[in-house]
Amino acid sequence: MSSEPTQSFANHARTVPGFHFVTGGCTIIFALWSIWHAMSTRSADAHFQMLGAFGLLGTFWYTRAFPIKAQDRVIRLEEQLRLQRILPEDLRTRINELSARQLIALRFASDAESPELVRWVLTERVTDIKLIKQRIRSWRPDTHRV
């Protein structure tokens, strides 16, 4: 039995405390301190330390951004294949009109409600992913997100 609650729009975003708060917090504090230290001492060592802190901030950011971008590409492909299988013919020919962000939001919709949602997204030209996710009634959890 899983200890995680049933996934929904309200709780689908994931925060990893060790990464977001501990590592992120330490990185930000170090960067701020390095800026203060470099400005107050005006030494070359302090400025190089500040440069290292900015490098660390970039590493922290891209450590999260790169895997998410790669996973978004996989999700886009998975959703195109799933929609190819479940959509009626008139919508199947329009799958390529959906943006990657729309496909990523639609991944939470059940097979039964996906045709209706895809039709709505395409007809109304909905680009707000939050709005798309809020419209989902039967939520398909994605527990494998990075």
Q: What is the pLDDT of residues 22-81, one digit of tens each?
A: 999 999 999 999 999 999 999 999 999 999 999 999 999 999 999 999 999 999 999 999
Helix axes 114-124, 44-86, angle to 10 degrees: 110
Instruction: List the beta bridge partners of residue 109.
Output: 139
**Structural domain includes residue 15:** yes
143 found inside a domain: no
Place of tokens 């301190």: 33
* Residue pLDDT, tens place only, 65-106: 999 999 999 999 999 999 999 999 999 999 999 999 999 999
134 touches 9 (CB < 8 A): yes
Lowest-pLDDT range, 6-20, 22-36, 105-119? 6-20
Residue 47 lies in a domain: yes
- 53/56 Cα distance (integer angstroms): 5
Residue numbers of the domain that contains 121:
9-135
pTM of the model: 0.76
50 part of a folded domain: yes
Amino acid at site 3 = S
Residue 3 — very low, low, confident or very high, per pLDDT cuts 50/70/90? low
Of 11 and 113, more confident: 113
Beta-carbon-side half-sphere exposure of residue 43 (alpha carbons within 13 Å) = 6
* Residue 138 zone, left/alpha/beta (φ > 0; ψ -120 to 50; rest): beta
- Which residues does 67 contact at the CB level (< 8 Å), separation at least 6? 146
Tell me whether residue 101 is in a domain: yes
Is 4 domain-assigned?
A: no
Total of domains in the chain: 1
Instruction: Confirm whether 146 is domain-assigned.
Output: no
Asked whether 119 and 91 are in contact (CB, 8 A), the reply is: yes
